[in-house]
């Protein structure tokens, strides 16, 4: 089992969700987050003075999938979230030791 | 017929007064939108405090000082009082808005009592009222219909004194550089500014004083039209200047431009033909775009732009009467300039001394830690947006 965490532009959430549903990924958790990367935020203008918004709003998607589905899920997210402009976000993949469905007590593959 | 005029003018004063009171939510909403969410309850409380405390001080003490007597032949004396009372809080609102996000409510309340009971009434006394300077070399001949100088500049001078004593918001200027603190709610800024604009029709229209003859009805209508025109010109020119200077349209500056135009026309909207207000309002709007960054460069921290809108345009509007409406007799450029200077010196000096003394006993400025936490928590104990905890 792998956990995929993707930090994406908030307005791309709908597209990414649809892409994941289309390949039968059955669940995900999202969080509204703020952050910056190499771009170091962007500048805006207020009353004639420029300022840097360094923590930009992003959405973080978390989903846990079976090993076989990882590549497909990553491709779906990348395709849907890409604008080609700076600030498109990042995807992190990590291993998951155990998964339990609370209602039934099912574990691991059955619980995903 | 005489009764009729009395009744109509009383009604007119009450109507104008009601419009002016729309400026109370006007200032409140504008400031609530400009400040950060953590200070919104505090600025709203301040606005409510100013309306209650300043009006009460004027009722009990100030009105007598300003006009010497409550007698009035042309309308109900109660209506005449209410109309004048509607202005008092405005001068103080101008000052409180500019020191938002770091000023504490209690010392500001004490200043409000003194401003409403003595300082503002004294300015009214020497300009519109009983005139204690009569037959001295300081006697003023300034024409100022609705208070470009008497209200807007007076509030602006008090604000300048307050900013000099209280200082900028914590971390507003870091190592000599400006740190921008953006507005938290632009829709509220727009609502507030437009309420102020509506209030201005009563502010200037009502200042004509009578609508009960055909001539006066025309004069009132022209005054309101010219007032509106200057606001339009201010908004348009401020927009064009922003586009030209920064290639961006900043609605807070466009609204400041409109308000700048409105302040500038306030000294003589009854005197001009229908085209001059375009020029006067346009210059008012342009001044705002140049002067806001200028005050920032001087590190005079004014979140709402009140110095630019009210002080600078109050001066410009008063001088404009001397330039465009001089009749070489009652109204002269020098008479206008003298009014600006005398009122400026008195308003600034008295405000500075009073704030300085209060500040010795009760600090106006909130501690840096409290400013970071937000004044709402320390001063009010309730936050306007408890669900949105941000910086």
pLDDT, one tens digit per residue, over B263-273 is 999 999 999 99
Residue B331 DSSP label: -
So where are chain B's domains?
A: 2-380
Give B-chain residues touching A51 at CB under 8 angstroms. Answer: 179-180, 182
Q: Maximum distance among all alpha carbons in chain B?
A: 69
Q: Could you report the predicted ipTM of this complex, rounded to two decimals?
A: 0.75
Distance between CA atoms of residues B124 and B88, nearest Å: 10
Most A-contacting residue of B36, B171, B172, B180 (CB-CB within 10 A), to test interface: B180
All residues at 6 or more sequence positions from B152 whose CB lies less than 8 Å from its CB, including other chains: B91, B94, B263, B266, B309, B310, B311, B313, B314, B317
Superfamily of domain B2-380: Ammonium transporter AmtB like domains (1.10.3430.10)
pLDDT digits (tens, 9 = 90+) for B67-89: 999 999 999 999 999 999 999 99
Q: How is residue A89 annotated by DSSP?
A: E
Chain A residues with CB under 8 Å of B293 CB are 47-49
In the stretch 220-279 of chain B, residues with CB closer than 8 A to chain A read 242, 245-246, 248, 250, 252-253
Q: Is the pLDDT of residue B351 over 80?
A: yes
CA of B294, closest CA in chain A: separation in Å?
A: 10
Q: Distance (Å, rounded) from C-alpha B204 to C-alpha B146?
A: 5
Half-sphere exposure at residue B244, Cβ-oriented, CA atoms within 13 angstroms: 9
Q: What is the DSSP string of B241-303?
A: HHHHHHSS--HHHHHHHHHHHHHHHTT-TTTS-SSHHHHHHHHHHHHHHHHHHHHHHTT---T
Whether A105 has its CB under 8 Å from any CB of chain B: the answer is no
Among residues B150, B170, B152, the alpha carbon closest in space to that of B160 is found at B152
- Looking at chain A, the whole-number percentage of residues with pLDDT higher than 90 is 71
Residue B185 main-chain phi, psi, to 5 deg: -155, 90
> Coil, strand or helix: which one is A44?
strand
Phi then psi dihedrals of residue A83, to 5 deg = -115, -15
Torsional class of A48: left (φ above 0), alpha (ψ -120 to 50), beta (otherwise): left
**Tokens 């005449």 belong to residue:** B80
pLDDT of B390 > 60? The answer is no
pLDDT in tens, B112-150: 999 999 999 999 999 999 899 899 998 999 999 999 999
Can you give the pLDDT at residue A86?
A: 87
Residues of A in contact with B305 (CB under 8 A): 47
Tell whether A44 lies on the interface with B, counting CB pairs under 8 A.
yes
What percentage of chain A exceeds 70 in pLDDT?
A: 100
**So where are chain A's domains?**
2-111
Measure A57 CA to nearest chain B CA, in Å.
12
Per-residue pLDDT of B214-247, as tens digits, reads 999 999 999 999 999 999 999 999 999 999 999 9
Cα A62 to Cα B185: distance, rounded to the nearest angstrom: 31
CB spacing of B250 vs A51 below 8 angstroms: no
Q: Minimal Cα–Cα distance from B26 to chain A, Å? A: 20
Residue B173 has pLDDT above 60, yes or no: yes
User: pTM value?
Assistant: 0.89
Residue B391 has pLDDT above 80, yes or no: no
Q: Any idea what DSSP says for residue A101?
A: -
Query: Distance (Å, rounded) from C-alpha B262 to C-alpha B201?
Result: 10
Q: Do A46 and B292 touch (CB under 8 A)?
A: no
CA distance B143 to B127: 9
> Does residue B303 have a pLDDT over 60?
yes
Helix B2-21 to helix B23-34 angle (10° resolution) is: 10
Question: Which residue of A44, A47, A50 is in closest CB contact with B292?
Answer: A47
Residues of B in contact with A45 (CB under 8 A): 246, 248, 250
Nearest CA distance, A50 vs chain B (angstrom): 7
Looking at domain A2-111, which CATH architecture does it have? 2-Layer Sandwich (3.30)
B388 pLDDT exceeds 80?
A: no
Inspect the interface and report whether the beta carbons of B178 and A49 lie closer than 8 Å.
Answer: yes
* Cβ contact, residue pair B180, A49, below 8 Å: yes
Helix (H) or strand (E) holding B143: none
Residue bearing the bigger pLDDT, B280 or A110: B280
* Residues of chain B with C-beta less than 8 angstroms from the C-beta of A56: none
Decide: B75 and B6 in contact? Cβ < 8 Å: yes
Neighbours of A66 (CB within 10 A): 12
- Dihedral sign computed on CA atoms, order A52, A54, A57, A58: positive
| Chain A residues inside the 8 Å CB shell of B183 | 46
Any residues with CB less than 8 A from the CB of B208 and at least 6 apart, and which?
Answer: B145, B216, B219, B220, B223, B270
Closest residue by Cα to residue B289 from B346, B250, B232, B316: B250
d(CA B98, CA B355): 15
Residue B329 DSSP class:
S
Minimal Cβ distance to B253: which of A44, A47, A50: A47
Q: Do B246 and A45 touch (CB under 8 A)?
A: yes
Q: Among B169, B178, B179, B182, which would you mutate to test the A interface (most chain A Cβ atoms within 10 Å of its Cβ)?
A: B182
With a pLDDT cut of 70, the percent of chain B lying above it is 99
């Amino acid at each position: 089992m792998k956990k995929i965490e993707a930090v994406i532009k908030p307005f791309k959430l709908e597209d990414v969700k649809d892409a994941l549903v289309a390949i039968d990924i059955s669940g995900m958790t999202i969080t509204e987050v703020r952050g910056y990367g190499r771009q170091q935020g962007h500048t805006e203008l207020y009353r004639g003075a420029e300022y840097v918004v360094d923590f930009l709003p992003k959405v973080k998607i978390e989903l846990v999938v079976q090993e076989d589905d990882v590549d497909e899920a990553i491709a779906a997210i990348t395709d849907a979230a890409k604008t080609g402009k700076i600030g498109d976000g990042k995807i992190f993949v990590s291993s998951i030791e155990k998964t339990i469905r609370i209602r039934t007590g099912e574990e691991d593959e059955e619980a995903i | 017929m005489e009764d009729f005029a009395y009744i109509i003018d009383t009604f007119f004063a009450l109507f104008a007064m009601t419009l002016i009171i729309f400026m109370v939510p006007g200032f409140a909403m504008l400031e609530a939108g400009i400040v950060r969410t953590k200070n919104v309850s505090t600025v709203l409380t301040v606005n409510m405090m100013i309306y209650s405390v300043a009006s009460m001080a004027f009722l009990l003490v100030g009105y007598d000082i300003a006009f010497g007597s409550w007698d009035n032949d042309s309308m109900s004396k109660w209506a005449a009082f209410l109309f004048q009372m509607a202005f008092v809080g405005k001068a103080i609102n101008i000052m409180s808005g500019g020191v938002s996000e770091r000023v504490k409510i209690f010392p500001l309340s004490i200043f409000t009592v003194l401003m409403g009971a003595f300082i503002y009434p004294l300015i009214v006394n020497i300009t519109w009222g009983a005139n204690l300077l009569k037959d001295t070399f300081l006697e003023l001949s300034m024409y100022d219909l609705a208070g470009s100088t008497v209200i807007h500049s007076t509030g602006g001078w008090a604000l300048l004194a307050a900013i000099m004593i209280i200082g900028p918001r914590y971390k507003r200027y870091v190592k000599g550089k400006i740190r921008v603190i953006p507005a938290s709610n632009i829709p509220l800024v727009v609502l507030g500014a437009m309420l102020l604009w509506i209030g201005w029709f009563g502010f200037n229209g009502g200042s004509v004083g009578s609508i009960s003859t055909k001539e006066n009805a025309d004069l009132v209508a022209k005054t309101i039209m010219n007032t509106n025109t200057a606001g339009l010109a201010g908004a348009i020119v401020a927009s064009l200047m922003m586009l030209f200077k920064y290639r961006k349209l900043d609605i807070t500056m466009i609204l400041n431009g409109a308000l700048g135009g409105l302040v500038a026309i306030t000294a003589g909207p009854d005197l001009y033909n229908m085209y001059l207000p375009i020029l006067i309002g346009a210059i008012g709007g342009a001044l705002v775009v140049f002067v806001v960054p200028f005050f920032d460069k001087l590190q005079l921290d004014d979140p709402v732009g009140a110095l630019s809108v009210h002080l600078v345009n109050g001066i410009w509007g008063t001088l404009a009467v001397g330039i465009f409406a001089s009749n070489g007799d009652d109204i002269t450029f020098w008479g206008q300039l003298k009014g600006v200077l005398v009122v400026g010196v008195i308003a600034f000096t008295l405000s500075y001394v009073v704030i300085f003394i209060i500040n010795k006993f009760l600090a106006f400025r909130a501690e840096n830690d409290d400013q970071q936490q937000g004044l709402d928590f320390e001063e009010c104990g309730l936050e306007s947006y408890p669900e949105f905890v941000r910086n």
